[in-house]
Structure 1
């Protein structure tokens, strides 16, 4: 007991007098999901010293090292007294080879604190070895030794040598390769792999035969190892996924090994496809692309391509395109329609106005500058129409939409949310490929969102945004996610790249493209049951290209990636949830059929959620026999009238049809003898709206040019005539579709419009004359 206590006191005193040396400074390495090295960096002292983990120290490596360097390693306490006595005798009497009797533990002490080889320093090594034995297990000491042994130049450690000379980790080496690495540390300047292979081969075989005499390994294994040629040369360090490697090493400074979720196969294929694809785009003035591949079930990122070529400085290849904030173009539209589906605002067959519209001063245009009048929701999405999307966003609410994006981890949107408006849905916000891909993963998984994972088996402290209680955030319902997926999986659409219309190589995916303003960014994001892949193509400088569109430039790369990584994916991989049902709707509006809806079709809807508004696309009116006069119930005569159906579109749709020369029948003028013809509002038809000028806008006019202002309105089909007032002074009467021009006064101006059914509307504006 006293001896043990004395030993503990001596050890404690030694620790106080000579604290343990700091841990070795390792080369940061990033591993793939299977444990292979994706990327390695020099350590702070510019050496390749990759940490060898205990699991990588194979029994063959242990036996070779211990039997060659220190056969009694497992039995002594850092110093081998018998070996010291033998070495002293040889050195004093000059018999045999001069040695220093260093144990593996003593060599670790010397490698941790290199000193000149003197008798005094040898004694210090012995003390330090004893101290190391008190603090570390034999396995840990052997691990330290294998991490510090020199292999010539700036290569240290078995793992560095194995990867740089054999391109394999230590636990994948053959017996011949293992013994090769065991013999080099004694003469690292003489036995240089790639330069002195013949000499190394002879020395290796000499030791193999000695191990055979010691019965260390089976005879057949020894024979095979002796016959194995030595084909070793210096290779470059692993450098896959450089953008992610830099990101993770920066995120975990000082950590020698970072376990990523990337898979070596998909990463290499995605990198090669991206690099070769961008090479073909250079003549179009397009120099970069970024790709992200995500496993939908685990949220693990399996491929991360930040740029086409990390080493290409001319095209800013070191910029990480996965995290670069860019304009998303139309890629947010599917998520908007999913929210509108959940709020009961739309169903797939519902028709939305697609006409020139002024949304409080914001006048969006479709990509092709044309309008269709009315389109179904599914067509608005597959054709990526801007005007219907802005209309839906106005109904959903910008705040509600951006709140959901914040819940999906959109950082730039979260910062800019108070300033965002209706242009958000057309790319008027900033986002990253990582954020967008994560959003589409949620659509692929029934609307459930969870942060993407870059770290294998990451703890909550390592995860960027851990979910509360381990549950998913529900961004939209499974029903909405299914309906959006069903629409995005359609093959008849304008954003199908040229040449793919009848291609058998078209992948079985749902996808959406996007093009930012000025053709600076091209996006294509797709998903199936297993994977979600996001693609961005453009220039990191922000320079646009006339050829840069999501359909023609980004989608071909997306299709190539899916055909390479998930070619055998199932075709029918989505099934409607139980919350969905079918119903008949009017083909003209997509609403529940009304009294005058002879043509009907089937549409999905969510019972209790989807709008149950009945269709009124045709309105019955009482008109005179010669169709020159309309009657209300108060003035209908006893005879000489008939019931007739008239189209009843929204005022802006009616105005658009009239300007395009399309059929747009209006009701005849109301009976002038009716005493309710003025001041009445019988609820017939939609409300009156002034479309020009804008309410609460400020206008600056050139006084010298005598500029005029346009007056126009949108009125129902029953309106024939409107009456314009300026500052409560009558200006003139005009037909409902007539464009009226006038010279406004300066200052505050009130514009009023009244129709022939007694409805009126006012707006206020400011006019300055310069």
Structure 2
């Protein structure tokens, strides 16, 4: 062949290729089919499925689900030469033309699998012209897709009657299994129906389907497609099937995922199917028992601590309960967190060196610049250790520690932990944030406790497993387009970008406290009625008993529970201890019953030291009672204990001396409690006996003590406007706290003497309108002023 001939051949080939390319551009392939979005569990089983936009069940069959048995049966029945032709089988066309022309045999169209795919993608009337177009499309499909992809398209589009399309949809809706888990008999059943989807309807024409199935099984056996023994067993398998509802586990998370990834046909979640099913069942049955108490909803989150993978997600007790707003997602709902943030606060305070577990904290009525918190039971204890304050969830000590730490330091850490409501409102948050004054979701709170379980290292909760598709194929399924109304969900893998929120040492100390069983929030009869799980947990109850929380963790899992009403209505029975914790224990017993029995160990950054049992501080000169306490070396404060102070007392014990007025002889040295003024005032007011200082030497003319021990005016609050009704003759309350040696105070209004009173006496006045200066002086000459404004209403 000479050069000219070769050139002409190449030119002709090039012309043909250009022609084909032009035709391909002029007549592009039809768009990919719209699949039914499905959400998978971690093991690959289908958790939840949705109708596609055309209201059909068309679930995408993955290549790995096309078993050799299914492939053999389909190819033997539909297209034996599928592997060798280019979309059109010319031999089959000639045979079909002969049969149709001469009327011998069954009339057929000789459609290949590829031609059927072309017809299913673009349904048209069965005419000779459309048949030609179908063949051209088949050739075009062969040029664009591999044989495996064409077979996959076919199995995703074949009809099974009604609105069921695709082998995966049929397998799930009739056999409740994915195609790769079907038996030989079930696989052959699904292989034969697409040719007669109206006549062979599973659940309606089971006898006809059985007859046709067995006919094809014998035929496949005679062709040597499957071992004879397998065929014999398949022939004996009964066919008693009916249509089932589509899988509908984890409806709330499934909806989140589908909204966030609207263009993905298959979304792989990290949920564990058994845990999810058990969590839904326990939550539904538990709330059913609470309904007579006016409690209708609950939400649950189960997290694997090591991977941060969410393994169970229950957004409500019953998604289909419209009366109780079951479609609301309680995992995302922003509610008052009650006391659930206290462990995190104390951990931060430990990291700042402000407190240690056995340090004493005042638990007395206190005015924090106008904010007067109360304990849940309205009772105060005088002084308590930090570990007792946390175990008993006392409010006043928590507010005191937050006041010492600073609200911005606390809220900045919550912002780092992903608290969206805190991030939006952190400049407006105050001391009440530690008692539920900031909004939080179950998702955020549970993530915070996962942080405690992981030694203070924070990472986002993860909801999806890594995609099994290559990066190029992932783009075809759809980009990561987040819905405006959904929180972005992390892709599941062991987190690497940890954020240290608290130290490992303080996380352990908090865990050690929260694991104690001697505490008031242990449910009544819990110890006798069930096996207590080895967990650390904290409860919370919001103001008005609208929300009950209980969040617990061990080495393997963290479980968060919220119980309440989506309407926001409270219930007298709603409390974290009595309502949320029993469900928490049930969940731990159900989903973590086989967890290894190991527990957290103290990190190397912790150490022990002796502290005074009376104060929890490093022992001073007068600390005979000492206990062991944890501390953070080089971080925890080394303040010396001064819970007692030496006082010079007259020989008869009737009064005390200061250093300036002490006589040369005739006195003795004694130790007296060195209480904070607010603690001594509380004990005085409650009649709690304590060793009180005798009055000071009345003959001493010196002003002693300095302003640091001056009276503290607790009412009225400085720089506050008071609106009083003139006709009701409303009065203003004057109270103060003083050093425990003070016996008498003197009140002044606008620098005019009002009256003398005992240190703990409540004084009432009817003040004039306008600016008001309130002054209080004690019997040691120390003075405090506050300025307020009084407005009168007619």
**2:752 match:** 729
- Are residues 1:597 and 2:606 paired? no
**1:645 match:** 671
Q: Would the aligned equivalents of 2:302 and 2:558 in 1 still touch at CA under 8 Å?
A: yes
Q: Would the aligned equivalents of 2:260 and 2:480 in 1 still touch at CA under 8 Å?
A: no
- Are residues 1:205 and 2:214 paired? yes
Within a 5 Å distance, the mapping from 1:289-300 to structure 2 comes to 289-300=298-309
CA distance in 2, matches of 1:64, 1:570: 47
Q: Secondary structure at the match of 2:289?
A: helix
Shift of 1:6: 4.0
Shift of 1:687: 4.3
Shifted more, 284-293 versus 503-512: the winner is 503-512
- Are residues 1:185 and 2:194 paired? yes
* Residue 319 to residue 70, structure 1, CA distance change in 2 (3 Å): same
Shift of 1:682: 5.6
- Are residues 1:745 and 2:754 paired? no
Within a 5 Å distance, the mapping from 1:227-238 to structure 2 comes to 227-238=236-247
Instruction: Encode CA deviations 1:605-624: one digit per residue, 9 max, x unaligned.
Output: 11111121111111101121
Unaligned runs of 5+ in 2: 1-9, 472-478, 482-487
Runs of 4+ in structure 1 displaced over 6 angstroms?
465-469
Within a 5 Å distance, the mapping from 1:246-395 to structure 2 comes to 246-395=255-404
Q: Secondary structure at the match of 2:747?
A: strand
* Residue 316 to residue 706, structure 1, CA distance change in 2 (3 Å): closer
Q: Would the aligned equivalents of 2:382 and 2:682 in 1 still touch at CA under 8 Å?
A: yes
- Are residues 1:514 and 2:540 paired? yes
Shift of 1:706: 4.0
CA distance in 2, matches of 1:595, 1:14: 99
Q: Secondary structure at the match of 1:320?
A: coil
- Are residues 1:64 and 2:73 paired? yes
Q: Secondary structure at the match of 1:501?
A: helix
Q: Would the aligned equivalents of 2:308 and 2:494 in 1 still touch at CA under 8 Å?
A: no
Shift of 1:355: 0.8
From 26, 51, 56, give the equivalent of 1:47.
56
CA distance in 1, matches of 2:598, 2:269: 32
Q: Secondary structure at the match of 2:526?
A: coil
**1:175 match:** 184
**1:606 match:** 632
Shifted more, 336-345 versus 25-34: the winner is 336-345
Shift of 1:742: 3.0
* Residue 265 to residue 22, structure 1, CA distance change in 2 (3 Å): same
Instruction: Encode CA deviations 1:622-681: one digit per residue, 9 max, x unaligned.
Output: 121122332222222111111111111110000000011112343333334435x13x44
Instruction: Encode CA deviations 1:519-576: one digit per residue, 9 max, x unaligned.
Output: 1111111111111011111111111111111111111111111011112334551101
* Residue 101 to residue 571, structure 1, CA distance change in 2 (3 Å): closer
Instruction: Encode CA deviations 1:209-248: one digit per residue, 9 max, x unaligned.
Output: 2222221122222222222222322111111111111111
Shifted more, 751-760 versus 1-10: the winner is 1-10
CA distance in 2, matches of 1:63, 1:37: 25
Q: Secondary structure at the match of 1:111?
A: helix
- Are residues 1:151 and 2:160 paired? yes
From 544, 566, 569, give the equivalent of 1:543.
569
CA distance in 2, matches of 1:445, 1:468: 12
CA distance in 2, matches of 1:581, 1:160: 61
Shifted more, 32-41 versus 755-764: the winner is 755-764
**1:137 match:** 146
- Are residues 1:493 and 2:516 paired? no
Unaligned runs of 5+ in 1: none
From 129, 142, 145, give the equivalent of 1:120.
129
From 106, 112, 115, give the equivalent of 1:106.
115
Q: Would the aligned equivalents of 1:648 and 1:716 in 2 still touch at CA under 8 Å?
A: no
* Residue 619 to residue 570, structure 1, CA distance change in 2 (3 Å): farther
* Residue 487 to residue 131, structure 1, CA distance change in 2 (3 Å): same
Shift of 1:8: 2.6
Q: Would the aligned equivalents of 2:307 and 2:494 in 1 still touch at CA under 8 Å?
A: no
Shifted more, 747-756 versus 296-305: the winner is 747-756
CA distance in 1, matches of 2:350, 2:426: 23
Shift of 1:583: 1.0
From 580, 591, 594, give the equivalent of 1:565.
591
How many residues matched? 767
Instruction: Encode CA deviations 1:120-139: one digit per residue, 9 max, x unaligned.
Output: 00000011111111100111
Q: Secondary structure at the match of 1:750?
A: strand
Instruction: Encode CA deviations 1:179-221: one digit per residue, 9 max, x unaligned.
Output: 1111111111111111222221221122122222221122222
**1:220 match:** 229
- Are residues 1:434 and 2:434 paired? no
Q: Would the aligned equivalents of 2:308 and 2:495 in 1 still touch at CA under 8 Å?
A: no
Instruction: Encode CA deviations 1:269-310: one digit per residue, 9 max, x unaligned.
Output: 001111111111111111111111110011111011111111
**1:471 match:** 497
Shift of 1:106: 0.5
**2:740 match:** 717
Shifted more, 91-100 versus 215-224: the winner is 215-224
Q: Would the aligned equivalents of 1:150 and 1:188 in 2 still touch at CA under 8 Å?
A: yes
CA distance in 1, matches of 2:494, 2:332: 25
* Residue 40 to residue 344, structure 1, CA distance change in 2 (3 Å): same
Shifted more, 399-408 versus 264-273: the winner is 399-408
Q: Would the aligned equivalents of 1:668 and 1:720 in 2 still touch at CA under 8 Å?
A: no
Report the RMSD for the aligned CA atoms in angstroms.
1.9
- Are residues 1:480 and 2:506 paired? yes
Instruction: Encode CA deviations 1:457-489: one digit per residue, 9 max, x unaligned.
Output: 269968647999942111111111101111110
- Are residues 1:409 and 2:418 paired? yes
Q: Secondary structure at the match of 1:325?
A: coil
Q: Would the aligned equivalents of 1:524 and 1:534 in 2 still touch at CA under 8 Å?
A: yes
**1:93 match:** 102
**2:4 match:** none
Shift of 1:492: 0.9
CA distance in 2, matches of 1:501, 1:284: 23
**2:655 match:** 629
Q: Secondary structure at the match of 2:623?
A: coil
Q: Would the aligned equivalents of 1:11 and 1:131 in 2 still touch at CA under 8 Å?
A: no
TM-score by length of 2: 0.94
Q: Would the aligned equivalents of 1:490 and 1:510 in 2 still touch at CA under 8 Å?
A: yes
Shift of 1:769: 2.9
Shift of 1:46: 0.7
CA distance in 2, matches of 1:4, 1:654: 104
Shifted more, 464-473 versus 547-556: the winner is 464-473
Q: Secondary structure at the match of 2:349?
A: helix
CA distance in 2, matches of 1:417, 1:191: 64
CA distance in 2, matches of 1:244, 1:476: 30
Q: Would the aligned equivalents of 1:508 and 1:570 in 2 still touch at CA under 8 Å?
A: no
CA distance in 1, matches of 2:521, 2:705: 47
**2:554 match:** 528
Shift of 1:504: 5.0
Shift of 1:91: 0.5
Shift of 1:421: 1.1
- Are residues 1:82 and 2:91 paired? yes
* Residue 289 to residue 751, structure 1, CA distance change in 2 (3 Å): same
